[in-house]
Amino acid sequence: MDWTQGCERDKPLKSVDMVGFKKFKNMKLPDTTSTWVNASLDIKAGHEKCLGSCSCIAYTHSDIKGLGSGCALWYGDLQDIQTFSNVGQDLHIRMAASELGIYQVLV
């Protein structure tokens, strides 16, 4: 089962691009091979940590219900993700600001 084909970015990210994050709801989370988890980070701190690293590509609550603390951050390609109709988690994916309709760094 090879799931390497799938979505690609319309616009490649560069570390010098102004970026933000788009929240995708009801997602099956990506493969965790390139993930870093910190149980003491809340979602806002996870956002800041991911925004501060050019190689961080996405983040979410590490608590599957999204109620507690803990954040998971992905570095590198996102493998094996999909959207479900009414289950799954929110996944915040790094996007070029121009793709988000904004032209400044999101904080």
Model confidence pLDDT, tens digit, residues 51-75: 888 889 999 988 766 566 789 999 9
- Domains in the chain, CATH or no CATH each: 19-100 (3.50.4)
Give the C-alpha separation, 54 to 73, whole Å: 12
| CA neighbor of 17 nearest in space, from 94, 91, 92 | 94
pLDDT of residue 106: 47
pLDDT of residue 48: 93
| CA neighbor of 100 nearest in space, from 30, 8, 17 | 17
Residue in the structure block whose two tokens are 């099956």:
28
pTM: predicted TM-score of the whole model, two decimal places: 0.77
